[in-house]
Structure 1
Amino acid sequence: MSGDEERGRVRRSYDTVAQEYRERIGDELAYKPLDRALLAALAEQTADGAPVADLGCGPGHVTAWLAARGVRAVGIDLSPGMVALARREHPGADFREGDLLRLPAADREFGAVVALYSVIHLTPGELGAAFAEMRRVLRPSGRALVAFHTGAQTRRVTQWWGHEVDVDFHFHDAGTVARALAEAGFEVEARLERAAYPQEAETWRAYVLARVSGA
Structure 2
Amino acid sequence: MAESSSYLDTTANAYDAVAVLYTELTRNYLDPLPLDRAVLAVFAELVRDAGPVAELGCGPGRTSAHLRDLGVDVFGVDLSPVMIDIAREAYPDMRFEVGSMDALALADDELRGVLSWYSIIHVPPREVPAYFAEFRRVLAPGGHLLLGFFESEGDPVTPFDHKVTTAYRWPIDDLAKLATDAGFLEIGRMLREPLEGERFRRGHLLMH
TM-score (norm 2): 0.92
Matched with 2:184 is: 186
How far is the alpha carbon of 1:105 from its aligned partner? 1.8
Matched with 1:202 is: 199
How far is the alpha carbon of 1:69 from its aligned partner? 2.4
Matched with 1:30 is: 31
- Contact 2:118-2:148 at 8 Å conserved across structures: yes
Matched with 1:17 is: 18
Tell me which protein shows more strand as a share of its residues. 1
Q: Segments of 4+ in structure 1 off by > 2 A?
A: none
How far is the alpha carbon of 1:47 from its aligned partner? 5.6
Matched with 2:159 is: 154
Q: Deviations over 1:70-126 (max 9, x none)?
A: 211111111001001000011121101111111222221211111111110112211
Tell me the number of residue pairs that the alignment of Structure 1 and Structure 2 aligns.
203
- Contact 2:193-2:201 at 8 Å conserved across structures: yes
- Contact 1:97-1:104 at 8 Å conserved across structures: no
TM-score (norm 1): 0.89
Structure 2 residue runs of 5 or longer lacking an equivalent are none
Structure 2 distance, partners of 1:112, 1:119, is 16
Pairing of 1:65-104 with structure 2 (within 5 A): 65-104=66-105
Q: Deviations over 1:45-73 (max 9, x none)?
A: 12625111111100000011111222111
Q: Deviations over 1:150-185 (max 9, x none)?
A: 22221245xx4xxxx6x2111111111101100100
- Contact 1:146-1:207 at 8 Å conserved across structures: yes
Distance 1:202 1:156, change over 3 A: closer
Q: Residue 5 in 1 paired to residue 2 in 2?
A: no
Structure 2 distance, partners of 1:23, 1:150, is 25
Structure 2 distance, partners of 1:176, 1:125, is 12
- Contact 1:55-1:113 at 8 Å conserved across structures: yes
- Contact 2:49-2:73 at 8 Å conserved across structures: no
- Contact 2:48-2:72 at 8 Å conserved across structures: no
AA aligned opposite 1:191: R
Per the alignment, in what secondary structure is the counterpart of residue 185 of structure 2?
A: strand
Structure 1 distance, partners of 2:42, 2:205, is 13
Structure 2 distance, partners of 1:26, 1:139, is 33
Structure 1 residue runs of 5 or longer lacking an equivalent are none
Q: Which deviates more from structure 2 when the two are superposed, residues 111-120 or residues 64-73? A: 64-73
Per the alignment, in what secondary structure is the counterpart of residue 209 of structure 1?
A: strand
Pairing of 1:119-158 with structure 2 (within 5 A): 119-151=120-152, 152-156=157-161
- Contact 1:67-1:92 at 8 Å conserved across structures: no
Per the alignment, in what secondary structure is the counterpart of residue 30 of structure 1?
A: coil
Per the alignment, in what secondary structure is the counterpart of residue 116 of structure 2?
A: strand
How far is the alpha carbon of 1:135 from its aligned partner? 0.7
Per the alignment, in what secondary structure is the counterpart of residue 93 of structure 1?
A: coil
- Contact 1:107-1:137 at 8 Å conserved across structures: yes
AA aligned opposite 1:201: E
AA aligned opposite 1:123: P
Root mean square deviation of aligned Cα: 1.5
